[in-house]
Amino acid sequence: MEDISIGSKKKSVFREYAEALLWALGLALIIRTLFLQAFTIPSGSMLQTVQIGDYLLVNKLAYGLKVPFTDHYVWRGDDPQIGDIIVFKYPKDTSIDYIKRVVGVPGDVVEMRNKQFYRNGQPVKEDYIQQLHPGHIGPLDNTRPVTVPPDYYFVMGDNRDNSLDSREWGLVPRGYIHGKAWRLYWSWDSSIHRPRIGRIGQLVQ
């Protein structure tokens, strides 16, 4: 009888651990699907605001709640605003995620003139941008006026001279937006092989 009792107890403990693990995995999947998602920065298109090696959390409820694994909303929250940094599916290859800043919302007329960004005919002061080549005019530094249609957004990288964005590949549909970049939870500087301690926990803005 003792052997049966001990075996049952071991099985019970194993079952408890297995159930706890399944609950944890299920909860993590629900959080990732509906609420928060981790995102890694692989390129320098958003320097210096977001740096290569930054790891950030994306608030997936910022603009509403989607049916899981679709682009359709169960509930639409606030619309993205000028200045929001968003993570979204790259329109030319939806298997890839991009991060950029919203600079044009529905109804805006946007254009570039000799590196200066204009919204609705007015030059926009952008203190957050980085320009590596101020005197050089590249192919994306002059663009024709574009009127942003409903449920679309015009986005650009803060590292303006090293960003392929809406100037090159067009507008971002609202349904492609995963959410709003929220906070850094880790940052790793690969050039010196150590974390950027001062960046951990910072809001992304």
pLDDT at 3 over 90: no
d(CA 166, CA 175): 16
Q: What is the dihedral of CA 108, 112, 115, 120, to 10 degrees?
A: -40
Q: Is residue 13 part of a domain?
A: no
Read off the tokens for 47. Answer: 């320097």
| pLDDT (0 to 100) of residue 28 | 46
| pLDDT (0 to 100) of residue 27 | 46
User: pLDDT band for position 35 (50/70/90)?
Assistant: low
Q: What is the CATH number of the domain that holds 147?
A: 2.10.109.10
Catalytic residue flag (residue 187): no
Read off the tokens for 45. Answer: 């298109």
Other Cβ atoms less than 10 A from the Cβ of 135: the count is 6
Q: Is residue 142 part of a domain?
A: yes
Mean per-residue pLDDT for 21-28? Answer: 51
Residue-wise pLDDT tens digits, 52-111: 999 999 999 999 989 888 999 999 999 999 999 999 999 999 999 999 999 999 999 999
Q: Exactly one of 89, 100, 115, 180 is catalytic; which is it?
A: 100
Residue-wise pLDDT tens digits, 175-198: 999 999 999 999 999 999 999 999
Q: Is residue 90 part of a domain?
A: yes
Read off the tokens for 7. Answer: 């075996």
Distance from the first to the final alpha carbon of the chain: 65
Q: What is the dihedral of CA 113, 107, 82, 39, to 10 degrees?
A: -100
Residue-wise pLDDT tens digits, 111-170: 999 999 999 999 999 999 987 777 789 999 999 999 999 999 999 999 999 999 999 999
Nearest in space to 168 (alpha carbons), one of 180, 154, 158, 182: 154
Q: Is residue 4 part of a domain?
A: no
Q: Is residue 204 part of a domain?
A: no
Other Cβ atoms less than 10 A from the Cβ of 158: the count is 22
Contacts of 166-171 with CB under 8 Å at 24 or more apart are: 166/100, 166/103, 166/104, 167/112, 167/140, 167/143, 168/140, 169/90, 169/91, 169/92, 170/91, 171/91, 171/146
Task: Residue 174: give the domain boundaries.
Answer: 37-199
Looking at the structure of the chain, the number of domains it has is 1
The pTM of this model reads: 0.84
Catalytic residue flag (residue 43): no
Q: Exactly one of 45, 163, 166, 187 is catalytic; which is it?
A: 45
pLDDT at 31 over 60: no
Q: Is residue 74 part of a domain?
A: yes
Q: Is residue 140 part of a domain?
A: yes
| pLDDT (0 to 100) of residue 5 | 52
Q: Is residue 58 part of a domain?
A: yes
